[in-house]
Amino acid sequence: MQHGIQLGGIDYLILVIYFLFVIGIGWVLRRYTKTSEDFFLSGRAIPAWIAGLAFLSANLGAQEMIGMAASGAKYGIATAHFYWVGAIPAMVFVGIFMMPFYYGSKARSVPEYLKLRFDEKTRGFNAISFATMTVFSSGISMYALAKLLELLLGWDFNVSLWISAAIVLAYIYLGGLTSAIYNEVLQFFLIVLGFAPLVYLGLRDVGGWNGLVAKLNTVATTNGYAPGTWSQSWRHLTSPQANPMGVEWFGMVMGLGFVLSFGYWCTDFLVVQRAMAANSMAAARRTPLIAAVPKMLFPFLIIVPGMIAIGLTYAGTSFTLPKMADGSWDYTMVIPNMLQHYFPPGLLGLGLTALMASFMSGMAGNVTAFNTVWTYDIYQSYIRKDATDAHLLWVGRMTTIFGILASVGTAYLATRFNNIMDFLQLVFAFVNAPLFATFLLGMFWRRSTGHGAFFGLLSGTVAAAVHHGLTLPQNAVAGIKGGWIVAWFSARPVHVYPSEMAQNFWTAIWAWSTCFAVTVVISLLTSRKKSDQELTGLVYSLTPRRTDDDHLPWWQRPAGFGVAVLVLAVVLNVVFW
Amino acid sequence: MGLDIRTPIGLMFGIFGLLLAGYGLMTSGSAIYQRSLGLNVNLAWGAVLVVFGGIMLWFGWRKK
């Protein structure tokens, strides 16, 4: 195998300095990490802007960087919907409407909120599935990093895996969540400053925005689509046949924009934990709103390089994407190959360090969420209820070690059984899809009960699996891609979707709707165990309206800030319509 | 919290900026810049990073 990139001394120097800073931050913070709350919640002392950037960065794993650039090449600017439709509205919603209950309830984790609002079994279901999922995600992240380094630089897979694991372990073990959050902020700037020159050089090479659009028109017409399919975000969503995603606007807005996006940004403890660590209610509510501003601009940093790559590839004059064994373009190589193509030694070191930073921030986010849920929601709840705080802090550190070892194990598992990974990710998708219905009803409908929530979640998960088992994307074989239920009966799929993405969106819509309906019906049939008093601060109608920010100017209030963010997002959609 | 994150951010990017700019000066006119369309991106971007690092350091130290 040939290794694409030769690194010089200056590149290694930058990488090593980055590692030293990352561990150094953990080392300094070690002195301030004295209680379990310091370790798991940063002592609830993080200013809003830091929490906001960490909120964004924790989600910005490398799968995101590599995957979104790949989608930019594959689908064009419509990929930005994963940000403008699939993130911004949900981030504004969680900040304005949900954070008062997460932060105000003093819950230490998302599963703990479920325990306070509903009951033990709902919490247990969520805690166990979430903890398992985070370990696997972080393992998959490590696997991807080590594989990429092997391919690009010829580094040994084992060495890369263990070194990256050791670095993440060191800084979380020492400084806990604060260390992870501080490093996420560092990583955020590194990612922005490391990739910005790539966008500049790429755009310059392709002839500016107009040059890019012209080249993308060629890409679109060559593939049998209308010109502009790659450079206009909404105009080609009228039918699934009109765009390479195979999705129409309704599936996009409901499946991605509503169910999947709200399910992730509003209920995933990985991101919510960053806001829970904020130093005040106002800061916690501003956290996702602050994150939303760079988030909506990220398409220009991440997706545009993909569009440039495919445009130049079709033009055939300078940059060309590599091909895979079956002759199709290897879209996942957009970022690595563009770094190699445009960056001289020096800047190349910075770009690769940024790529590595994105892997680590994703990994660290998973590990901190895992050790908190494990320690508070599983260990303290089921194993040792009377544990002292010093003991919990110790358990947190041990869990960090355990979590990272389990992730390394997962990474090795992934090298042998790629199918298992696909299978697990599928199962987690089923478990996650209905979650937002449970939180929505829990926070805004006081009548909803613990039994309703638990069985709603369960049936939502089952509905996702059944929908997946009955339908199939076009040209796919029954199995991991769906259709496995009908395959047992040697029947034909109930419905064939134009693409896998469309199938995913609709699986989520079905899961959400089932969970919503079942929770409502069972709640009406069962009686609520918690009194109105117990639910104060957890449910909208039982919580007094907040008045503490009434004296602030509108743009400092969450609602005003949130509306401004939404207006900005609408403007972006209109400009790139 | 005892550590202002802007200080390490400022330090790290300041160092990166100086390294890149210094390397850019040393390799000025070299063939390595054919990749970056003939621009000495190390020098230019190094300077940007130095400015960014300086601003971060200034914010981090101002409070004390």
The pTM of this model reads 0.92
The DSSP symbol for A471 reads E
User: Least CB-CB distance to B32: which of A18, A43, A345?
Assistant: A345
Binary contact (A46, B1; C-beta < 8 A): yes
User: Taking the mean position of all CA atoms in its chain, how far away is CA A421?
Assistant: 17
pLDDT at A4: 67
User: Least CB-CB distance to A14: which of B19, B24, B52?
Assistant: B19
Distance in angstroms (rounded) separating the CA atoms of residues B19 and B23: 6
Taking chain A, what is the end-to-end CA distance rounded to the nearest angstrom?
Answer: 43
Residues of B with CB under 8 A from a CB of A: 1-3, 5, 8-9, 11-13, 15-16, 19-20, 23-24, 27, 32-33, 35-37, 39, 41-42, 45-46, 48-49, 52
The pair of three-digit structure tokens given for residue B44, joined into one six-digit string: 């230019």
Q: What does the pLDDT profile of chain A (577 residues) look like in tens digits?
A: 345 677 888 999 999 999 999 999 999 999 888 899 899 999 899 999 999 999 999 888 777 888 899 999 999 999 999 999 989 999 999 999 999 999 988 899 999 999 999 999 999 999 999 999 898 888 888 888 888 888 888 889 999 999 999 999 999 999 999 999 999 999 999 999 999 999 999 999 999 999 999 999 999 988 889 888 898 888 888 888 888 888 888 888 888 888 889 988 999 999 999 999 999 998 999 999 999 999 999 999 999 999 999 999 998 888 888 888 888 888 888 998 899 899 999 999 999 999 888 888 888 889 999 999 999 999 998 998 888 999 999 999 999 999 999 999 999 988 887 777 777 778 878 888 899 999 999 999 999 999 999 999 999 999 999 999 999 998 888 888 888 888 888 888 889 998 888 898 899 999 999 999 999 999 999 988 888 888 888 998 888 877 777 777 777 788 889 999 999 999 999 988 8
Give the chain B residue whose CA is nearest to the CA of A343.
Answer: B36
The answer to whether A368 touches A26, Cβ cutoff 8 Å, is no
pLDDT at A1: 37
Binary contact (A347, B16; C-beta < 8 A): no
Per-residue pLDDT, averaged over B4-27, amounts to 94
The Cα angle at residue A386 between residues A381 and A387, in degrees rounded to 5: 90
pLDDT at A448: 94
pLDDT at B64: 55
Per-residue pLDDT, averaged over B34-61, amounts to 93
pLDDT at A417: 77
CA distances from B15 to A18, A184, A189, B20, B24 (A): 10, 19, 14, 9, 14
Residues of A with CB under 8 A from a CB of B: 10, 13-14, 17-18, 21, 24-25, 28-29, 31-32, 42-43, 45-46, 50, 178, 182, 185-186, 189, 193, 197, 201, 204-205, 341-347, 350
Q: Which residues of A touch B32 (CB under 8 A)?
A: 344-345
Q: What is the largest CA-CA distance in chain A?
A: 70
User: Is the pLDDT reported for residue B6 higher than 50?
Assistant: yes
Distance to chain B for A164, nearest Cα, Å: 19
User: Least CB-CB distance to A344: which of B2, B35, B52?
Assistant: B35
CA distances from A235 to A79, A248, A252, A350, A576 (A): 13, 10, 13, 37, 9
Give the chain B residue whose CA is nearest to the CA of A203.
Answer: B37
List, in order of start, the domains of chain A with CATH numbers: 9-416 (1.20.1730.10), 423-543 (no CATH)
Residue A223 CB neighbours (<10 A): 11
Distance to chain A for B61, nearest Cα, Å: 17
Report the DSSP pairing between strands A471-473 and A495-497: parallel
